[in-house]
């Protein structure tokens, strides 16, 4: 184990070997990486553990610099484990470069079937006794990390001291189609709010989409398309996202020898904002997190989008409707990090996924749970979250419009402070 320091912190690298498939404990193994963080002044103390599960799927745990965001609050009383969930970060990678080692698309899809929250929770339960000596730990789940935490409550509550969830209470029974039917109207509200704030962006976005439809430029192997441009709407789910989108749009064009053209600055910014090179599992496994009840997702976001024609890439003369957190078949045609995985993604879209949650066990829950539910969260439906909150015995909610989906990061220590107070009964809702 390597240990090193940030100001006020001691960090230690941990690597754990776990079975790929728990049903085959003697079979193939993979490596899971976790970064332990503890306050320097408490490094030798026997502190309780807090496990952080990042949002996604497909993202490694956030790389904090010192005590930024919520981490400074956490290390006042916890020893923190920032876990790179399987396939992400410094854990055994799963991407266009490594997946061909599995074989063809069928073998790759079978391998990735072990990368949902049920497998992530099994990893946590194998890791926990190695770190805590068998004691339960506190879990903090952000977004998809909250989905994992609800799976944890369903499958292994004995491993949990308490659970804190931010923007991540999933529906217990909704199909992916239900998720996206609820999502598109929310996205439309966010887009309308953006154009109300920056009305000049209506014409800018329309001009950019028209240029992309005609030229479809190539930016380092990444084809820029109107649909890809619309996907920049994912920015609107964050607290500063509308401003980020506006700043991206405002310098889109330059005048060259042949007239107006998209600037290199804009093209590179769009490529970077819509790239999956660093998190291909997000695209491959995103709809799978909603797959339940032995029914394939079948490119749900694409199918349901057809029910909302205003989101079409060539939807008349109206404002360009940006989209949000959705994955479509065309992603695997335009992105160089995804193009080799197109057939694998198609097989995953046809996969029958078993249920992830146990409503009966959740109804009898005895683990203290607190959840921040962000009002009109663009990524996770508020109504779905509140129904789930009512289905988990003893869960205390904090419904707030003060933050968007990134409240845990943007709110500094305040969100974690509030959830800890809730779960300990130190404050009202």
Domain ranges of the chain: 3-173+355-423, 176-349
Q: What is the pLDDT of residue 427?
A: 79
Q: Angle of helix 241-249 relative to helix 176-197, nearest 10 degrees?
A: 60
Q: How far apart are CA 129 and CA 136, in angstroms?
A: 8
**Over the chain, what is the mean pLDDT?**
95
Q: How far apart are CA 147 and CA 167, in angstroms?
A: 9
Q: What is the pLDDT of residue 429?
A: 61
Q: Count H helices, E strands: the chain? A: 17, 13
pLDDT-based confidence at residue 313 (cuts at 50, 70, 90): confident
Q: What is the pLDDT of residue 318?
A: 84
Q: What is the pLDDT of residue 54?
A: 98
> Global pTM?
0.96
- Which one of 84, 201, 405, 406 is the catalytic residue? 405
Q: What φ, ψ does residue 41 adopt, rounded to 5°?
A: -70, -15
Say yes or no to pLDDT of 315 above 80. Answer: no
- Which one of 143, 171, 231, 385 is the catalytic residue? 143
Q: Which of 182, 198, 202, 201 shows the shortest CA–CA distance to 376?
A: 182
SS3 258: coil
Q: What is the pLDDT of residue 316?
A: 64
21: annotated active-site residue = no
Q: For the chain, give the percent of residues with pLDDT over 70.
A: 99
Pick the CATH number of 3-173+355-423 from 3.40.50.10880, 3.40.50.150, 3.40.50.1820, 3.90.1210.10: 3.40.50.1820
Poorest-confidence range of 1-5, 196-200, 273-277, 358-362? 1-5
Q: How far apart are CA 317 and CA 421, in angstroms?
A: 50
391: annotated active-site residue = no
46: annotated active-site residue = no
- Which one of 13, 24, 352, 376 is the catalytic residue? 352
SS3 6: strand
């Amino acid at each position: 184990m390597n240990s090193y320091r940030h100001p006020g912190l001691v960090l230690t690298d941990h690597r754990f070997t776990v079975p790929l498939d728990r049903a085959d404990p003697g079979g193939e193994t993979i490596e899971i990486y976790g970064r332990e963080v503890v306050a320097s002044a408490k490094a030798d103390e026997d502190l309780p553990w807090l496990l952080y599960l990042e949002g996604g799927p497909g993202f490694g745990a956030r790389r904090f610099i010192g005590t930024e965001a919520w981490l400074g609050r956490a290390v006042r009383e916890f020893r923190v484990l920032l876990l790179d969930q399987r396939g992400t970060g410094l854990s055994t990678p799963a991407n266009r470069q490594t997946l061909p080692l599995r074989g063809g698309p069928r073998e790759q899809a079978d391998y990735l079937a072990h990368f949902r929250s049920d497998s992530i929770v099994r990893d946590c339960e194998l890791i926990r006794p190695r770190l805590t000596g068998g004691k339960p730990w506190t879990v903090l789940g952000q977004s998809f990390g909250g989905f994992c935490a609800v799976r944890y409550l369903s499958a292994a509550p004995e491993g949990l001291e308490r659970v804190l969830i931010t923007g991540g209470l999933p529906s217990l029974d909704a199909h992916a189609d239900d998720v996206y039917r609820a999502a598109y109207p929310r996205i439309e509200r966010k887009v309308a709010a953006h154009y109300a704030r920056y009305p000049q962006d209506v014409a800018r976005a329309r001009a950019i989409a028209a240029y992309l439809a005609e030229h479809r430029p190539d930016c380092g192997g990444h084809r820029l398309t109107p649909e890809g441009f619309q996907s920049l709407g994912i920015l609107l789910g964050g607290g500063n996202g509308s401003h980020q989108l506006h700043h991206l749009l405002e310098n889109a064009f330059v005048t060259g020898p042949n007239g107006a053209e998209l600037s290199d600055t804009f093209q590179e910014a769009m490529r970077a904002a819509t790239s999956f090179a660093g998190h291909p599992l997000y695209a491959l496994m995103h709809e799978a997190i909603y797959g339940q009840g032995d029914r394939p997702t079948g490119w749900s976001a694409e199918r349901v989008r057809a029910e909302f024609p205003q989101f079409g890439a060539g939807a008349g003369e109206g404002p360009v409707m940006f989209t949000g957190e959705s994955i479509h078949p065309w992603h695997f045609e335009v992105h160089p990090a995804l193009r080799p995985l197109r057939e694998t993604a198609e097989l995953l879209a046809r996969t029958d996924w078993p249920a992830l949650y146990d409503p009966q066990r959740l109804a009898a829950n005895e683990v203290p749970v607190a959840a921040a539910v962000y009002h009109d969260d663009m990524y996770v439906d508020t109504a779905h979250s509140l129904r789930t909150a009512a289905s988990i015995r003893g869960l205390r909610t904090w419904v707030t419009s003060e933050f968007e989906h990134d409240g845990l990061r943007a709110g500094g220590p305040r969100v974690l402070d509030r959830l800890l107070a809730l779960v300990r009964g130190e404050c009202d809702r």
